[in-house]
Amino acid sequence: MAEEALLQVEDLKKSFGGVTAVDGVSMTVRRGEVHAVIGPNGAGKTTLISLLAGEIGPDRGRILLGGRDIARQPAYARARLGLARSFQITSVVPEMRVLDNVLLAVLARDGRSFRFWHPARSDPALVRPAEAALERVSLAHAAGERADAISHGEHRQLEIAMTLAAEPELLLLDEPMAGMSAEESRRMTGILEGLKGEKTMLLVEHDMDVVFALADRIDVLVGGRIAASGTPEAVRADEAVRRAYLGDEAV
Amino acid sequence: MDAGLVAAQLLNGLQLGVLLFLLASGLTLIFGIMDFVNLAHGSLYMVGAYLCAELTDATGSFLLAVALALPATALVGAAVELLVVRRLYRRDHLDHVLATFGLILCFDALVQMIWGPEGMAIRLPAWADGQQHLPGGLVFPTYRLLIIGAGLAVAAGLYVLVVRTKLGMRIRAGASNPAMAGALGIDIGRLFTLVFALGAVMAGLAGMMIAPITEASIGMGNEIIITAFVVVIVGGIGSIRGAFVAALLIGLIDTMGRSFLDMALKLAMSAQAAETSAPALSAMLIYILMAAVLAFRPQGLFPPKTR
Amino acid sequence: DKVRIGFVTTLTTPAGVIGRDMQDAVNLAIQDIGGKMGGLEVELIVEDDGFKPEVGKQKTDKLVKQDDVHFVAGFIWSHVLLASRKSALDGGKFLISSNAGPSQIAGKLCHENFFSTSWQNDQTPMAMGEVLNQRGVKSLYVMAPNYAAGKNMVAGVERTFKGEILGKDMTKWGKDAQLDFSAELAKAKASGAEAIFVFYPGKAGGAFIRQYQQAGLQDDIALYTVFTVDAIALPNLQKAGMTGVLGSLNTQFWGPDLDTPQNSKFVSGFKKAYGRYPSFYAAQSYDTIFLIKSAVEAVGGNLDDMDGMRAAMKKADFPSVRGAFRYGNNHFPVQNFYLRKVVEDADGVWTTTVIDTVLKDHQDVYAAECKM
Amino acid sequence: MLRIEGLEVFYGRSQALFGVSLEVGEGEAIGFMGRNGMGKTTTVNALFGIVRAATGTVLFEGRELRDLPSHLIARLGLGLVPEGRQVFPNLTVEENLTAAAANRGGRRNPWTAAQLFAMFPELEARRRHMGNLLSGGEQQMLAIGRALMTNPKLLVLDEATEGLAPLVRRRIWACLAALKAEGHAILAIDRHVPDLARLADRHYIVEKGRIVWTGSSAALAGGGADLERWLGV
Amino acid sequence: MSRRVGWLLLALLAAGPPLALAAGQPFYVDIMTRLVCLAAAATSLNFILGHGGMISFGHAAYIGIGAYAVGIPAYYGLHDGWLHLLLAVCCSALFALATGVIALRTRGVYFIMITMAFAQMVFFAIVSIEEYGGDDGLVIDIRSEFPLLDLEDGLTLYYVCFALLLGTLYLVHRLMRSRFGMVIEGAKGNERRMAALGFAFYRHRLAAYTLAGALCGLSGAMLGNFTNFISPEMMDWTRSGELIFMVVLGGAGALFGPLIGAAAFLLLEELLSGWTVYWQLPFGVLLILVVLFARGGLAGLLEGRRG
Ligand SMILES: Nc1ncnc2c1ncn2[C@@H]1O[C@H](COP(=O)(O)OP(=O)(O)OP(=O)(O)O)[C@@H](O)[C@H]1O
Ligand SMILES: Nc1ncnc2c1ncn2[C@@H]1O[C@H](COP(=O)(O)OP(=O)(O)OP(=O)(O)O)[C@@H](O)[C@H]1O
Ligand SMILES: [Mg+2]
Ligand SMILES: [Mg+2]
């Protein structure tokens, strides 16, 4: 298999006032792999994702997507280059319907948003993929609900549906399973598994069952630095990681 | 342009700034902390002024009248909160604007029904009515100095209350998430009434301070409230420190504009044109300032930190 | 049929206090004539302009189109009158200004169906300029609100005052008028002028006087006013103990103590009905009704006879509170202007008294521009 | 101690709870489970007066809570770790704790900020940071700490371990166990069934707004419940 | 339901004026003309406010710009209607574009205030130009001249304004449902998410803001023609406020909301002010009641949504 690097991060740094959240991180995500980032709370995982997605700018460092440095590009431009993120704390458009939320994601991918005249909600080119994405996360039943009238777990599903509908090359998943019940979590794991090979994923997750089931490689972030990295087996066996993060979970 | 005039105008600007701060601090409390846009804040300013005028007539003493009018204004504020405002916290800003505009209309009409269209003058006690001779040969009205002093004292007290006390913390907690604060046992209903009443007192106090100068009149709060909003915005919503800095800034700019702009304009245009356009342009200054500040700092001078 | 009179004035906002005075005077006048003119009943429709030209115009439109009045009268503010003028005149109605007298309407925009029962803006300050000259004032500081009348007032005093004008402030006007004059007063004082001339109608007048006294300027710069210290401002000034205003001078075409039969009847009637002195606004409004009455009676109640009524009004043949006067070609009064002083009357109430005649049978300068 | 009976809740026209009944005994720990959107949070919110129940009774130590405002309910000794953290964004970490501080359960040695910082050293380092600047997990810790600061008699946790690192989760479960040992009652919603089973004495499973199973931890472990069907495990 | 009321209102407006004339009530045509112009302005505001969440507190500036685009050429004797309309659209659009570039960097109440600041600047700029009447305004003696249409005829003028309203409504209707509209709506609900999805919505907003400005400029031009008198007062912040009230009163985001709101607003004002000088009191109370009990404005009330 061609071990082509899709995303390369070099010496990335970000501090907030006195707190250095990400402290010189370098990593490589290969095309088609599921690359997990784990680490204690406050280690800088979400910050890393925000840096990659372009919501905040780095103090230093480079982010190469397919060889192109995108570190100074705004979030929307990166999204257009095929980068999509899901949010740790659910972020949808609350007053729109569930389906409309996904529709927006499809529209974003489609890119032709300066169209003033034709109704969007009856445009099959938008509606069909959106419905398919909802189907995929088994949320089709709620398509017509307002997005602020569904439960926490359903929000999480919607969050993933939107990320999927954007059909990105690289998915940045920030705790996708948070708030999902065991059942939904398992189904979601199945969905992500099905995407494996087709999409590249950077996965942040505290649920070790999910991480070990999905990840091809794992980076462990502690205090803003990469403390260990390698295959799931290697990381699981790493004594330092166990002490700093896993506890007896992996035993 | 002589130094004495500049010094006098600085003091005038300071006095206006302090007055604006009194108004703006109540706004920033209610607006920044409870996220409620209260256009009717200016009406409480008016109510304060009228109550004080009425009580000065009744008691014959300005100070006593202020002492009585302050709690009375607080009561009015609390009543407004209980009757109208409290149902609106969870609505969006537009609803606030609309409802409080309704309140303004009610207040203006009610005041006219009670006190008639003519204003109410307040007679200052003799000791406050004179002038003070300041160093540098400056003569300044005693009463305006008093306003400066009172305003500064209130600013300090307010800062301590909101930032340093547990009450202040609970108010802020309730503001950001009332349901959660309630679930922690904080009686947000009462707290909010309290804050609103406090804001009313500050507005009322500002009204009482200005009334002996311009007299209490209908609608007196409706224009100055916009300036107070400008202060809040320039300072950064919710920031008492920001409101203070911005109030002084705007007080000074406004006064300086009124004093020296026509001179400056005369350098560029005919005296006639300068004289007629100067007042309009100086009134425009604070808006230019606001737009300039927001162009570079879209959240004002002291924005809250967010993620 | 009835004689329908539309009356546009300001009833809301603080300026409503002026409107109230006018409305009271009109009601009193109608009562004094027994509610009838030339055998016809009088119907009065009062509209509030809210101190806004646009609203004033809207209300005029309503009076013309919906109420189909015969006379549109009232108008405190020059800009409101300018905005409403076209609606009333194009609608074929008589337009009578009971106060506002902007230069345009006296000059280029004069119209056969327009009449004034007041004065042209420039005249009163022109009288004041003469007074200043007589008293040997050499240097002056000028303050007025920045609107049509304010500009006219300043132009008026500049026209006759022979000394030097050391500074001038035109302050913000309208519903959010500037009322705190600290900066301007500091400038006036620093200018070193001998006297200050101000025009602040309504409540702004009271505010100005108060701050003038609080700043302790009585000894530095003498105060001369027009339309500022009047029956509207004085009660509040008295209440606030602004004794500095006693003895101050102003000019006017009228005074409550002017000795004419009609004026005695008016002032005593007004005081009796409302318990206060009438203002000049009231006096002019009172006159308005009598002017209309003279017109209606001249045509024997035939309200379609516009020409007849116009000719009658032109004669100014009615008992005016100011005594006899005549109309100029532009239908503004040619009349006297008096110097008045603020005094305490026998009952201890502050009022003004006429102490001198400054201009006799004075016609405004814009009349020359009127092609009528 | 707490008895909920026949609770029905509507959101607009759609019904979320269809007569939920559940009981928490003195010093008892209860697990409350169910898949997404089944009505767990709705039950909790109804208990705290955050949403209003249409019918049913909520008795806490014999007092009817249904019509009480939230703050009075909380003052009776109920503490909430809400779903989705809901820390106060505009208060610092320390202020978040201080603002909540009260000894509602009349504990002899009430929780202090210092004790909580000892339990969550991550928070100590951030004590002067605004709540909204914290990471997800840090916020979760703060939410737990905040609830503890009210020293409740009954602690209600709605997915309190969401987003926490495995090690921290351990600490939380240990702390809950300690609280229970002290005699505090606990009502916990959590997706980690084994952990919950270890802590709780009894469990309720809710499905589509109805309680479909209730029983002891032993029964749960012994396969008394069709967990596959109701929870997907 | 609100749709049905909207259509009913349109039908009334289409048939009303000839009936009013026939009944000898020309003044009603005036009221309806004003209503139609303001409703068109409010509809343009609704597009950015109700639909896009951009609460512009300076929308009246475009009415003013449109009106002066008629008044100033007319002052110089240029009466060509097409010229007026072209000027109105271009000037409003340009002003919206220039100010939007800065204003759209801000959010929430900051946006409200900065749009107000820009409007105030135009306001004071006009006030300071004495040539065009300053504060006192400008009388338009002759209305815009179009081939075949005589606007001096009240009925013709009315139907031109009515056509403008219909056009604006249809345009906004299409826009709201288009892809462009969806982006605007999405950005109103959650900016962060929209950016993460890849939308550079700043551009969409700027386009929408400019478009709304241009549309409103047109209604301003018609309003100026109708009143025959223009003054800075037309773009005072209270006028912007009134436009917002019309939108919110009617129901922000609902297509016919602004029309219903404008109708209710003018009707109430007309009825109540004819009834008592204290008309502001019942008017204010009504406003408050509508906010409290009719969520989503009158349109919401018609849909059966309660506060
Ligand atoms: N805007 C900010 N200002 C100040 N500090 C911040 C900001 N954003 C993050 N931090 C701090 O940086 C650190 C890293 O935060 P981050 O959210 O990246 O952690 P995380 O690894 O995602 O943790 P978790 O697993 O709990 O979600 C935290 O300690 C947090 O308090
Ligand atoms: N604010 C609301 N408005 C309308 N419906 C709601 C609202 N909140 C929840 N619901 C609905 O009520 C039902 C129960 O929701 P609830 O939040 O209680 O579920 P839950 O069991 O806590 O789920 P989760 O595990 O996902 O948090 C869901 O179907 C949801 O769609
Ligand atoms: Mg995180
Ligand atoms: Mg839940």
Helix, strand, coil percentages in chain B from 3-state DSSP, rounded to 5 = 80, 5, 20
How far is CA E123 from each of CA C79, D15, E93, E126, rounded to the nearest angstrom?
16, 53, 17, 5
Query: Nearest 10 degrees: CA dihedral of C70, C75, C79, C84?
Result: -20
pLDDT level of residue A251 (50, 70, 90 thresholds): very low
Query: Nearest 10 degrees: CA dihedral of C352, C358, C363, C365?
Result: -100
- Beta-carbon separation of D50 and B183 below 8 A: yes
3-state secondary structure of C93: coil
Count of CB pairs separated by less than 8 Å, B with D: 88
The answer to whether residues E253 and E70 touch, using CB atoms and an 8 Å cutoff, is no
Smallest CA-to-CA distance from A110 within A125, A95, A131 is with A125
pLDDT value at residue D225: 64
Domain borders along chain B are: 8-127+138-296
Where on the phi/psi map is residue B269: left (φ > 0), alpha (ψ -120 to 50), or beta?
beta
User: Which ligand approaches the C-alpha of residue D36 most closely?
Assistant: 2
Q: Which of C62, C78, C82 is facing E27, going by the closest CB pair?
A: C62
Smallest CA-to-CA distance from B199 within B18, B16, B32, B14 is with B32
The per-residue pLDDT for range B164-179, each reduced to its tens digit, is 888 888 888 887 888 8
CA of A188 from ligand 1 middle (Å) equals 26
What is the number of alpha carbons within 13 Å of residue A165 lying toward its C-beta? 35
Touch between chain C and chain E (3+ CB pairs, < 8 Å)?
Answer: yes
The per-residue pLDDT for range C297-328, each reduced to its tens digit, is 999 888 899 999 999 999 888 999 998 899 99
Smallest CA-to-CA distance from D200 within D20, D33, D34, D5 is with D33
Judge if the beta carbon of residue D45 lies within 6 A of ligand 2.
Answer: no
pTM for this one?
0.87
CA distance A1 to chain D (A): 33
pLDDT value at residue B306: 59
- Beta-carbon separation of C173 and E135 below 8 A: yes
Pick among D45, D60, D90 to test the B interface (most B CBs inside 10 A): D90
Question: How far is A37 from D188, CA to CA, in rounded Å?
Answer: 29
Answer yes or no: is pLDDT of E54 > 80: yes
CA distance C144 to chain B (A): 11
The per-residue pLDDT for range C192-216, each reduced to its tens digit, is 999 999 999 888 888 899 899 888 8
- Beta-carbon separation of A55 and E195 below 8 A: yes
The per-residue pLDDT for range C17-38, each reduced to its tens digit, is 899 999 999 999 999 999 899 8
The answer to whether residues A204 and A47 touch, using CB atoms and an 8 Å cutoff, is no
Q: How many C-beta neighbours within 10 Å does residue D63 have?
A: 11
pLDDT value at residue E167: 96
Chains meeting A at 3+ CB pairs closer than 8 A? Answer: D, E
Judge if the beta carbon of residue A231 lies within 6 A of ligand 2.
Answer: no
CA distance C9 to chain B (A): 13
ipTM, interface predicted TM-score of the complex: 0.84
Smallest CA-to-CA distance from B290 within B282, B281, B300, B280 is with B300
The answer to whether residues C95 and C72 touch, using CB atoms and an 8 Å cutoff, is yes
Smallest CA-to-CA distance from D191 within B298, C250, A184 is with A184
Tokens of E63: 């009415």
Residue E199 neighbours by CB under 8 Å, 6+ apart: A76, A79, A104, A108, A113, E183, E186, E187
CA of D29 from ligand 2 middle (Å) equals 24
Tokens of B198: 């406090």
Smallest CA-to-CA distance from B173 within D92, C148, C166 is with D92
Task: Report the CATH number that the domain containing residue A32 is assigned in CATH.
Answer: 3.40.50.300
Q: Which of C13, C182, C183 is facing B219, going by the closest CB pair?
A: C13
Residues A58 and A123 in one domain: no
Rounded to an integer, the average pLDDT of E139-164 is 89
- Give the closest residue (by CA) to ligand 1 atom 28: A42
Q: Where in the sequence is the domain holding A120, given as residue range(s)?
A: 92-167
- Provide φ and ψ at E2, rounded to 5°: -65, -30
Residues A120 and A240 in one domain: no
- Beta-carbon separation of D70 and B182 below 8 A: yes
- Beta-carbon separation of E231 and C12 below 8 A: no
pLDDT level of residue E204 (50, 70, 90 thresholds): very high
Question: How far is E239 from E244, CA to CA, in rounded Å?
Answer: 9
pLDDT level of residue B19 (50, 70, 90 thresholds): very high
The per-residue pLDDT for range C244-264, each reduced to its tens digit, is 888 889 999 999 999 999 999
pLDDT level of residue D157 (50, 70, 90 thresholds): very high
- Beta-carbon separation of B283 and C186 below 8 A: no
Fold of B8-127+138-296: ABC transporter involved in vitamin B12 uptake, BtuC (1.10.3470)
CATH class of the region E2-302: mainly alpha
DSSP class of residue A142? G
Percent of chain A topping pLDDT 90: 34
- Cα D99–Cα D100–Cα D101 angle in degrees, nearest 5: 95
Answer yes or no: is pLDDT of A1 > 70: no
- Beta-carbon separation of B184 and D104 below 8 A: no
The per-residue pLDDT for range E232-257, each reduced to its tens digit, is 888 888 889 889 989 988 888 889 99
Answer yes or no: is pLDDT of C92 > 60: yes
Judge if the beta carbon of residue A50 lies within 6 A of ligand 1.
Answer: no
Residues A129 and A155 in one domain: yes
Question: How far is C191 from C195, CA to CA, in rounded Å?
Answer: 10
Residues A26 and A129 in one domain: no
Q: Which residue of B has its CA nearest to C236?
A: B121
Residue D154 neighbours by CB under 8 Å, 6+ apart: D1, D2, D24, D60, D77, D78, D79, D184, D185, D186, D187
The answer to whether residues E72 and E83 touch, using CB atoms and an 8 Å cutoff, is no
The number of the ligand 2 atom at minimal distance from the alpha carbon of A153 is 26
Residues of B in contact with D133 (CB under 8 A): 305-307
- How many residues appear in chain D? 233
Tell how strand C71-74 and strand C2-9 pair up: parallel
Report the run of H or E that residue C294 belongs to, with start and end. helix C280-298
Q: Report the mean per-residue pLDDT for chain E.
A: 89
Smallest CA-to-CA distance from A35 within A3, A68, A73, A59 is with A3
Burial (CB count <10 Å: 0-12, 13-18, 19+), residue A223? middle
pLDDT value at residue E307: 41
Tokens of C154: 């300043």
Residues A178 and A78 in one domain: yes
Answer yes or no: is pLDDT of C230 > 50: yes
User: Which ligand approaches the C-alpha of residue A141 most closely?
Assistant: 2
Question: How far is C212 from C53, CA to CA, in rounded Å?
Answer: 30
Answer yes or no: is pLDDT of D233 > 80: no
CA distance C295 to chain B (A): 33
Judge if the beta carbon of residue D82 lies within 6 A of ligand 2.
Answer: no
Answer yes or no: is pLDDT of A250 > 50: no
Answer yes or no: is pLDDT of D92 > 80: yes
Judge if the beta carbon of residue A122 lies within 6 A of ligand 1.
Answer: no
Does residue A87 belong to any structural domain of this protein? no
Report the run of H or E that residue C198 belongs to, with start and end. strand C195-199
pLDDT value at residue A3: 63
DSSP class of residue D92? B
Tokens of A103: 């529709």
Helix, strand, coil percentages in chain C from 3-state DSSP, rounded to 5 = 40, 25, 35
- Domain ends where: A144, A167, A190? A167
Residues A42 and A22 in one domain: yes
Domain borders along chain E are: 2-302
Question: How far is B14 from B6, CA to CA, in rounded Å?
Answer: 12
CA of E298 from ligand 1 middle (Å) equals 45
The number of the ligand 1 atom at minimal distance from the alpha carbon of D122 is 29
Answer yes or no: is pLDDT of E305 > 60: no
Burial (CB count <10 Å: 0-12, 13-18, 19+), residue E78? middle
The answer to whether residues C258 and C322 touch, using CB atoms and an 8 Å cutoff, is yes
Touch between chain C and chain A (3+ CB pairs, < 8 Å)?
Answer: no
DSSP chain E: -HHHHHHHHHHHHHHHHHHHHHTT-HHHHHHHHHHHHHHHHHHHHHIIIIIT----TTTHHHHHHHHHHHHHHHHTT--BHHHHHHHHHHHHHHHHHHHHHHHTTS-HHHHHHHHHHHHHHHHHHHHH-GGGTGGG-EE--S--B-SS--TTSHHHHHHHHHHHHHHHHHHHHHHHHBHHHHHHHHHHH-HHHHHHHT--HHHHHHHHHHHHHHHHHHHHHHHHHHHSEE-GGGGSHHHHHHHHHHHHHH-TTSTTHHHHHHHHHHHHHHHHHHH-GGGHHHHHHHHHHHHHH-TTHHHHHHTT---
Residues A25 and A141 in one domain: no
Report chain D's terminal Cα–Cα distance, integer Å: 31
Residue C282 neighbours by CB under 8 Å, 6+ apart: C21, C22, C24, C25, C231, C270
Answer yes or no: is pLDDT of D83 > 70: yes
- How many residues appear in chain E? 307
User: Which ligand approaches the C-alpha of residue A37 most closely?
Assistant: 1
Judge if the beta carbon of residue D97 lies within 6 A of ligand 1.
Answer: no
Residues of E in contact with A84 (CB under 8 A): 196-198
Judge if the beta carbon of residue D136 lies within 6 A of ligand 1.
Answer: yes
Residues A183 and A209 in one domain: yes
Judge if the beta carbon of residue A42 lies within 6 A of ligand 1.
Answer: yes
Best substitution site from A16, A86, A222 to test ligand 1's pocket, by max atoms within 8 Å of Cβ?
A16
Query: How many domains is chain A partitioned into structurally?
Result: 2
Judge if the beta carbon of residue D135 lies within 6 A of ligand 1.
Answer: yes
Task: For chain D, say whether A190 makes contact (Cβ under 8 Å).
Answer: no
- Beta-carbon separation of B87 and E292 below 8 A: yes
Smallest CA-to-CA distance from C7 within C111, C79, C105, C81 is with C81
The per-residue pLDDT for range A15-47, each reduced to its tens digit, is 998 889 999 999 999 998 999 999 999 899 999
Residues of B in contact with D91 (CB under 8 A): 169, 172-173, 176
Q: Report the mean per-residue pLDDT for chain C.
A: 91
Tokens of E221: 């031009």
Task: For chain E, say whether B290 makes contact (Cβ under 8 Å).
Answer: yes
The number of the ligand 2 atom at minimal distance from the alpha carbon of D35 is 25
Count of CB pairs separated by less than 8 Å, B with C: 129
Question: How far is C230 from C202, CA to CA, in rounded Å?
Answer: 9
The per-residue pLDDT for range C136-170, each reduced to its tens digit, is 999 999 999 988 889 889 999 999 999 999 989 88
CA distance E35 to chain C (A): 13
CA distance C178 to chain B (A): 10
Q: Which of B15, B130, B215 is facing C236, going by the closest CB pair?
A: B215
The sheet that has A170-174: what strands, in order across it? A83-86, A170-174, A200-204, A34-38, A217-222, A225-230
The per-residue pLDDT for range E71-107, each reduced to its tens digit, is 999 999 898 999 999 999 999 999 999 999 999 999 8
Q: Angle formed by the axes of helices B62-83 and B41-59, to 10°? A: 140
Task: For chain E, say whether C65 makes contact (Cβ under 8 Å).
Answer: yes
DSSP class of residue A103? H
pLDDT value at residue B48: 94
Tokens of C329: 């070609």
H-assigned helices in chain A: 45-53, 75-80, 98-110, 124-136, 152-165, 182-195, 208-214, 232-237, 239-241
Residues of E in contact with B112 (CB under 8 A): 278
Amino acid occupying residue D103: N
Q: Which residue of A has its CA nearest to E174?
A: A117
CA distance C66 to chain E (A): 5
The per-residue pLDDT for range A76-108, each reduced to its tens digit, is 888 888 888 888 777 889 989 999 999 999 998
Residues A18 and A46 in one domain: yes
Task: For chain D, say whether A96 makes contact (Cβ under 8 Å).
Answer: no
